[in-house]
């Protein structure tokens, strides 16, 4: 059984220096991110939770989901959260030809006006990174995984995964998906409350320049 670490090891981060793993470590700021939506059963609830804590976040959206739920996507933008490209069909970079992968990213870009990009499953080849960089995409990974998609863990453990590991500047991954919703509905409010009480601010990932 493959075990994915909650905190991304420094060695892994050093192996892929051309992608973003975190931000400034000297400021009490956390960057919450949500993958795979928008999803009508969970994304509006996420937006409400963020509103309660005056928190901003970044939603890495799947193009086909944006096409299916444009009203929810527009709600994300209206609430001044950031959005990013998560491909059109949630492709795995490791098993996709580069041309097919880039075409899928560009298909999503017709709907998602952002140069922030996160590869589904975190799977991306060096060749794909280099080609996306030439198209001015900024690849955003993460430093903390909530593991909310993993139904083998409890909602309480999902929350602890974040609050036990998060530090200033971390990029945290949650999922606004049906699969993750059981864990997310417990972990997100708890995370927002705990980190707010610790003096953290929740910011959206900015559109980056090279």
What CA–CA distances, in Å, run from 191 to 60, 147, 158, 160, 203? 19, 13, 10, 8, 14
Q: Residues 24, 35, 36, 99: which is the catalytic one?
A: 35
**Catalytic residue flag (residue 175):** yes
R_g (Cα) of the chain, nearest Å: 16
**Catalytic residue flag (residue 35):** yes
Which three-class secondary structure state does DSSP give residue 107? helix
Provide the 8-state DSSP code for 136.
T
Pairwise CA distance, residues 82 & 67, whole Å: 18
144 beta partners: 7, 172
Q: Residues 69, 81, 88, 175: which is the catalytic one?
A: 175
Are residues 148 and 175 in contact, defined by beta-carbon separation less than 8 angstroms? yes
The residues that are catalytic are: 35, 175
């Amino acid at each position: 059984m493959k075990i994915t670490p909650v905190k991304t090891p420094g060695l892994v981060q050093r192996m892929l220096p051309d992608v973003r793993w975190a931000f400034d470590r000297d400021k009490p700021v956390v960057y919450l991110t949500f993958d795979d939506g928008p999803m009508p059963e969970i994304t509006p609830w996420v937006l409400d939770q963020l509103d309660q804590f005056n928190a901003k976040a970044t939603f890495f959206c799947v193009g086909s989901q944006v096409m299916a739920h444009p009203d929810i996507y527009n709600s994300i933008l209206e609430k001044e959260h950031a959005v990013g490209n998560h491909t059109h069909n949630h492709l795995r970079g490791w098993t996709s030809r580069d041309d097919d992968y880039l075409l899928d990213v560009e298909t999503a870009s017709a709907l998602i006006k952002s140069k922030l990009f996160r590869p589904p499953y975190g799977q991306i080849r060096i060749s794909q990174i280099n080609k996306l960089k030439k198209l001015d995409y900024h690849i955003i990974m993460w430093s903390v995984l909530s593991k909310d998609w993993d139904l083998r863990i409890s909602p309480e453990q999902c929350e602890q995964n974040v609050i036990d590991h998060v530090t200033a500047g971390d990029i945290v991954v949650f999922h606004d998906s049906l699969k993750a919703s059981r864990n997310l509905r417990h972990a997100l409010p708890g995370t927002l409350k705990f980190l707010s009480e610790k003096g953290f601010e929740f910011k959206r990932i900015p559109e980056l320049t090279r």
